[in-house]
Amino acid sequence: MDDVRIERAVVEDAGEILTLQRAAYLTEAQLHGDPFLPPLVESLDQVRTMIAGSLVLKASVGTRIAGAVRGRFNDRTCLVGRLAVAPDLQRRGIGGALLRALEAEAAGRADACVLFTGHLSETNLRLYRRLGYAETHRERVAGHLMLVHMRKPLVAAAGGD
């Protein structure tokens, strides 16, 4: 989509990001048979805290927040989380654009980005593989849910001093 703007989220975006997140993760909950996925039970205060203390990017179309993604840093690794795109705007490149923007922001601060998704989330897995993420391991977290962990090395952007 040509009219998508990606920028850092601000605390005032928390309510709209939480609403977007819940709408986006409903299909994941149905796919995995788990209505208590962390993105669905997160509180508004938790989202505000995350925006205030982490790298949170939003994708906007007009005045609407169409997607969001989070990055937290642990040493030289960027932990990617809560990639969410409004259900009616999925499969239009917004998720990939958000991930690429997060990777660009993380390059230089981190040597790699890591993320995970449910083993049944084929659409997510295809997106991550297409963007250069490789599976590192799988982790069973419940009888019905296995997480697929993935990693992508980052290259710091060359720049003048």
Which CATH superfamily includes the segment(s) 4-153? Gcn5-related N-acetyltransferase (GNAT) (3.40.630.30)
Tell the burial category of 38 from Cβ atoms under 10 Å away from its Cβ (0-12, 13-18, 19+): exposed
Q: What's the confidence (pLDDT) of residue 73?
A: 95
- Please determine, for residue 149, whether its predicted confidence score (pLDDT) is greater than 60: yes
Q: Domain extents for the chain? A: 4-153
- Please determine, for residue 157, whether its predicted confidence score (pLDDT) is greater than 60: no
Q: How many other CB atoms are found less than 10 A from the CB of residue 120?
A: 16
What would the mean pLDDT of 109-137 be, rounded to a whole number?
A: 96
pTM score = 0.91
